[in-house]
Amino acid sequence: MKFNKPKFWDKKYSFFSIILLPVSLIVLVLISLKKKFTKSIKFDVPIICFGNIYIGGTGKTPSAIFLANELLKLGKNPVILRKYYESHVDEHNLIKKKFNNLILDLNRADGLKKAKIGGFDSVILDDGFQDYKIKKDLNIVCFNHNQLVGNGLILPAGPLRESLGSLINANLVLINGIKDNDFEQKILSINKNLQIFYSHYKPTNIDQFINKKLLAISGIGNPENFFKLAKEHGLRIEKKIIFPDHYEFNEKEIKNIVKEARNKNYQIIMTEKDFFKINHFDIDDDEIKYIKLSLVIKEREKFIEAVTKIYDQKI
């Protein structure tokens, strides 16, 4: 889905959210009916699902890549499975760069069958919490502390794909950002068995951008998260250019931005995901760079232990 997130999604009370509320109630009813009448299929291979209820920008893909590599270190043979969307080639390329085993399929259930034929001992489902056809062994729901649940309303009045009550079907919650006791209590009142973990992104090449005037480009679900991270690490952003999530850049518009940056002596920076969309353009390597990020999970060993229990349970 390509969209610029409406600002009213993160406001508690808004004229637009109130106007759209009846549509959201219809969506909520349709979701409930879909859950009720969809039969879940069980698979022999353990399925670990990274999902979200806040649409876009919660860190599912970096978390899936992190876990896949950790499981590989433990002698497991996992594969990452994603539903194929033509417009998501940026994320597909990012995964392939950081982890070898990736299955893309228009139907997740068919992808799971391919995983079994391929001899993988576990499947990490990158997005699929709302795919009710698949019985998951572990549901990990991701949030970003900057947004959490926004105004708390279902699409289109708010940013939620389904209600917070859906966490009754989750096992772990992974929050990217600072500890939030109030939010923890809120979600634990829905599901007291939830295990809650926190993560953050650690920039690994930030020094090369210090004391430079920056033009920051972002085409991700929550672009302000990228800008905020840069600011928190002392970077000086002179101009921001925001594109819709999963935006397909064309070479001409990027070259125009490069020309502007040259005239104003700006260094262009992007997210790594955006950079993958334009790195084949005929542009000098020094013109556009990206901030390299490493995902750090607090209580990493405890998190890995919580995940690996499913292997014993599946036997």
- Asked, as a colleague might, if the bond just before 156 is cis with ω within 30 of 0, I would say yes
pLDDT band at 288 (very low <50, low <70, confident <90, very high): very high
Tokens of 61: 């893909």
**What was the pLDDT predicted at 226?**
95
pLDDT value of residue 237: 97
Name the pLDDT band for 2 (thresholds 50, 70, 90).
Answer: low
pLDDT score for 87: 81
Residue 274 lies in a domain: yes
Give me the residue label for tokens 């013109």.
287
Q: Would you tell me the crossing angle of helices 89-98 and 60-73 to the nearest 10 degrees?
A: 20
Give me the sign of the Cα torsion angle 82, 84, 87, 90: positive
Q: Is residue 122 part of a domain?
A: yes
Residues 176 and 219 in one domain: no
The answer on 164 and 264 residing in a single domain is no
pLDDT in tens, 76-114: 999 999 999 988 887 888 899 999 999 999 999 999 999
CATH of the domain at 260: 3.40.50
Domain-located, residue 144: yes
Is residue 20 one of the residues assigned to a domain?
no
Claim to verify: residue 61 and residue 210 sit in the same structural domain:
no
In a domain? residue 228:
yes
Say how far apart CA 97 and CA 40 lie, in whole Å. 32
Q: Which tops the pLDDT comparison, 237 or 92?
A: 237
Residue 62's pLDDT is what? 95
In three-state secondary structure terms, 210 is coil
Is 147 within a domain? yes
Please check whether residues 226 and 195 belong to one and the same domain.
no
Instruction: State both tokens at 276.
Output: 């993958």
Residue 10 lies in a domain: no
CA dihedral 292, 2, 154, 11 (to 10 degrees): 70
Summarize pLDDT for 7-17 with one digit per residue, the tens.
Answer: 899 888 899 99
Q: 187 with 210, same domain?
A: no
Please indicate whether residue 246 or residue 166 has the higher confidence score (pLDDT): 166
Question: 111 and 179 in one domain?
Answer: yes
Please, what is the angle between helix 60-73 and helix 300-314, to 10°? 70
The domain total for the chain is: 2
Does position 121 have pLDDT exceeding 60, yes or no? yes
Tell me the pLDDT tens digit for each residue of 29-81: 999 999 999 999 999 899 999 999 999 889 999 999 999 999 999 999 999 99
Pairing verdict, β 102-105 and 138-144: unpaired
CA–CA dist 169, 136 (Å, integer): 10
- pLDDT for residue 26: 97
Chain mean pLDDT for the chain = 94
The answer to whether position 4 is within a domain reads no
Co-location of 283 and 304 in the same domain: no
Residues of the domain holding 286: 205-291
For residue range 139-153, list pLDDT tens digits in order. 999 999 999 999 999
* CB 5 within 8 Å of CB 222: yes
* Tokens linked to 99: 């982890």
Task: Report the pLDDT value the prediction gives residue 1, as an integer from 0 to 100.
Answer: 52
Model's pTM, two decimal places? 0.93
Report, as an integer, the average pLDDT of 244-250. 89
- Does residue 315 have a pLDDT over 90? no
Model pLDDT, residue 49: 98
Here the CATH number for the domain that contains residue 149 is 3.40.50.300
Looking at the fold, whether 158 and 191 belong to one and the same domain comes out as: yes
Collect all residues with Cβ–Cβ distance below 8 Å to 36 and sequence separation of at least 6: none
The band of 276, judged by pLDDT with boundaries at 50, 70 and 90, is confident
Domain co-membership, 310 together with 287: no
Say if residue 226 is in the same domain as residue 146: no
Q: In terms of domains, do 281 and 305 share one?
A: no
Task: Please say whether the dihedral angle defined by the alpha carbons of residues 162, 166, 170 and 173, taken in this order, is positive or negative.
Answer: positive
257 lies in the same domain as 110: no
> Token pair for residue 134?
């698949």
What was the pLDDT predicted at 221? 85
Residue 271: closest CA among 201, 174, 211: 201
